[in-house]
Structure 1
């Protein structure tokens, strides 16, 4: 499945009522390959990826998705060259400056999961301000995963549970209450772009019963039609949660 195929078929109609996932998460993969195919520097791919973020977040609101979680910077991304990490931080600064007013205006609640306080002080301050400015909104949630790793999240949740509860009282609900996504709806659909088929340490607990969708489209080419196609695919699946 690709956005090109979706466009060729024409714009998809809005999904039928009851088939829209409440919470969608996306592993935004393929920026580097997108740039390489065009003989451009990797930064050009990341910049095009930011435009895809804008398209998809707006379309998610139009469709009626309650929460959208985007894997923007993993705890493993520090292994990338220093120049590339610096470029990514620059794009994050630019996104907050240019898009925050729109998020406030559109009643979007911004959430950040991950240990973003490892970032430069000015970036941390911008993130804190953005979260605060949207804190009074009561509309859809846009959650950005920054310096996030699911294994670290689970380990931290286990430590907090152990500090509060005796072992025989630590159950699934207790761990769930300590996760950084505890104020989000249950994860319904997890999408990964670029053709790779792995979760890459993203929302491992939350994805236990999520529908997984792996698409060949590189992230900068993922557009409104591609999101609607993914939502339509979700609507066609039967979710039994281990039952019949």
Structure 2
């Protein structure tokens, strides 16, 4: 598996190159944004580790450029700890975010998790929610109408929320589980962001966003995708979130 590491800190580049090569990964490095894009085009890596604060072209623009032609997982490794930076990176197309300093064990765990997603270990269903069809494999959403199918654009973070709900269709998924899965444990209490994304998803997917029938809020606990309203069954998934053990506080 080939990993592209883009970071302007030579010590981090060297440490990650040594550590990840010792784990059997094929490593390509870049010290600025322009080099990162050139290396991405030349080597077509299977996964990216991208710093945000690089010279010449920052990491946010690298993410957007890569997402123009690649679906390979992108893990941001950055010293920026603000929620705004994390949300912007995820919306630009990143799949996960780790803040510096980080533990090697955590980084390796996140790489393994992203690798599992990219190699199809999860079920990849197509579901129909009323007149809306969500195809996880094709990363497409369309709405049927008398004028034909209309494509609906979801942001990368909206896709992550939908993937979690679809793979756990019919089950309560706590706010904590969703927040931790997407943004990490340090944001397990940031429910405001999640409410915003759920509101946007309802506007895009529900026929009447004010009275949703698919994306259901379980008051004080979390959210549930109502599978009784689905026209197509959801495939069983081997990589579901753990069963909730109680009310999300």
TM-score, scaled to structure 2: 0.29
* Higher relative contact order structure (alpha carbons within 8 Å, sequence separation ≥ 6): 1
Q: Which structure: greater helix fraction?
A: 1
User: Which structure's residues are more often strand, by fraction?
Assistant: 2
